[in-house]
């Protein structure tokens, strides 16, 4: 976390902070704007929080950590909201159980929006008052913005899951054809879902090849100026063995081949824990995939769309990605003997152009070799409604071949 901020808040700096604050806050409500009030209450699984709860919880953060601490005479909007909308902050008392957030029919969405307006007005007034605010206030302000943006990511994933559980398969966003036409008219980049593949047609299935990546000592961890979360610190060196990386993400066609070869019926490809989950939950395809009219479709923010064979496969759990990799390794042609392929000079793309898919890796997430965090009590946002994503702690990546499947959150 940056600590270079001065302790004063002259008008220009305050205006800049206020503009950022208002933009981030507006994004949260914009994400929920296409929803019906009823949509914002639903919690179909424990890992999903109702959108109304997200809107209120992020507001509770500002009220609790900034306004009550730094705004003289601030009056809380409602005395019970601290119980309703605390998430995991044990130091701040009891709260509604995570699994019970969907039972909160009250307060109404309109009340939550009024809560947001109340807090927004108070924070704007605090920022614009001609008085000094300490550096700690601005550090909390930055943290609050990052926190709300984390919840926006959760909103996107949770909204998708909520709507996917409706037999009506409601569309969150405009139909694809309308989006395409609108964007073409504006000559702008198309909006995104799991990836842009269904909006920007993939020209063809490109053949996979393998890119050699030389090993060595690599520095990982946050090394820039500005904000980062404490688990991104400290930058440190790790030893990476040489490996080869597939030149593109695993596609739906690749994954369909795994499915059609019986990948979901053969325990040999699966970690024991993944196999148990597969059987317990009846996995037979990636999350959001359904069979309809003789073919595979997937639920998107634009309702059901046919699976595009050339698009990266998304919404597979770590266990599915691992099982796919184990299956694909059997069909992976050995590297031709003779001259080794030339080493690449630049890192391979992490995702397809225009895609927001996030590749799975086997990298564990162990404690970083870092000093004590500056602020130790902040909980990061919870996981989205993907299938289980926490793999067994892994060993450092061994040499070999690695093809990326994705763990997209959208």
What CA–CA distance (Å, rounded) separates 312 from 250? 6
- Stretch of 80-88, 92-100, 125-133, 137-145 contacting Fe ion, by CB under 5 A: 80-88
Q: Determine which residue in the list 9, 40, 59, 87 makes contact with Fe ion, applying CB under 5 A.
A: 87
Q: How far is the CB of 91 from Fe ion (least distance, A)?
A: 14
- Stretch of 85-93, 123-131, 278-286, 355-363 contacting Fe ion, by CB under 5 A: 85-93
- Stretch of 87-95, 134-142, 164-172, 212-220 contacting Fe ion, by CB under 5 A: 87-95
Q: How far is the CB of 378 from Fe ion (least distance, A)?
A: 9
Give the per-residue contact string, 292-331, with Fe ion (x = CB under 5 A; - = no).
----------------------------------------
Count of residues that interact with Fe ion, criterion CB under 5 A: 1
Q: How far is the CB of 110 from Fe ion (least distance, A)?
A: 22
CB atoms inside a 10 Å sphere around CB 205: 14
Per CB under 5 A, contacts with Fe ion among 229-288 are none
Nearer to Fe ion, 148 or 244 (CB): 148
What CA–CA distance (Å, rounded) separates 308 from 325? 20
Nearer to Fe ion, 87 or 251 (CB): 87
- Stretch of 29-37, 81-89, 112-120, 210-218 contacting Fe ion, by CB under 5 A: 81-89
What CA–CA distance (Å, rounded) separates 214 from 176? 42
Q: How far is the CB of 386 from Fe ion (least distance, A)?
A: 18
Nearer to Fe ion, 43 or 87 (CB): 87
- Stretch of 86-94, 163-171, 199-207, 310-318 contacting Fe ion, by CB under 5 A: 86-94
Residue in 311, 292, 206, 317 with CA at minimum distance from that of residue 252: 311
Contact residues toward Fe ion (CB under 5 A) are: 87
């Amino acid at each position: 976390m940056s600590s270079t901020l001065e302790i004063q808040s002259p008008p220009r700096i305050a205006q800049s902070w206020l503009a950022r604050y208002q933009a981030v806050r507006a994004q949260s409500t914009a994400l929920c704007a296409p929803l019906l009030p009823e949509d914002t209450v639903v919690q179909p699984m424990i890992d999903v929080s109702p959108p109304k709860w997200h809107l209120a919880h992020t507001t509770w953060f500002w009220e609790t950590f900034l306004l009550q601490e730094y705004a003289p005479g601030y009056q809380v909007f409602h005395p019970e909201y601290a119980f309703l909308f605390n998430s995991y902050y044990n130091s701040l008392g009891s709260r509604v159980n995570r699994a019970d957030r969907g039972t909160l029919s009250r307060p109404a969405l309109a009340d939550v929006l009024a809560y947001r307006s109340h807090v927004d007005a108070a924070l704007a007034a605090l920022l614009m008052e001609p008085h000094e605010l300490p550096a700690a206030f601005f550090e909390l302000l930055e943290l609050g913005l990052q926190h709300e943006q984390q919840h926006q990511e959760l909103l996107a994933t949770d909204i998708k899951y909520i709507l996917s559980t409706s037999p009506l398969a409601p569309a969150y966003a405009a139909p694809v054809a309308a989006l395409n036409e609108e964007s073409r008219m504006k000559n702008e980049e198309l909006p995104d879902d799991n990836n842009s593949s269904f909006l920007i047609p993939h020209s063809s299935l490109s053949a996979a090849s393998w890119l050699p990546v030389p090993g060595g000592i690599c520095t990982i961890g946050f090394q820039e100026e500005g904000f980062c979360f404490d688990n991104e610190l400290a930058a440190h060196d790790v030893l990476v063995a040489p490996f080869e990386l597939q030149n593109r993400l695993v596609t739906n066609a690749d994954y369909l081949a795994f499915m059609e070869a019986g990948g979901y019926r053969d325990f040999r490809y699966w970690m024991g824990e993944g196999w148990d989950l597969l059987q317990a939950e009846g996995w037979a395809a990636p999350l959001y995939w359904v069979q309809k009219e003789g073919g595979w479709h997937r639920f998107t923010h634009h309702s059901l769309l046919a699976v595009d064979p050339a698009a990266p496969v998304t919404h597979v759990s770590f266990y599915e990605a691992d099982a796919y990799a184990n299956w694909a390794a059997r069909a992976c042609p050995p590297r031709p003997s003779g001259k080794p392929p030339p080493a690449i000079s630049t890192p391979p793309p992490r995702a397809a152009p225009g895609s927001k898919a996030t590749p799975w890796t086997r990298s564990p997430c162990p404690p970083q070799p870092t000093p004590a965090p500056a602020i130790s009590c902040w909980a990061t946002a919870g996981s989205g409604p993907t299938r289980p994503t926490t793999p067994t702690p892994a060993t450092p990546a061994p040499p070999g071949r690695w093809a990326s499947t994705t763990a997209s959150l959208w």
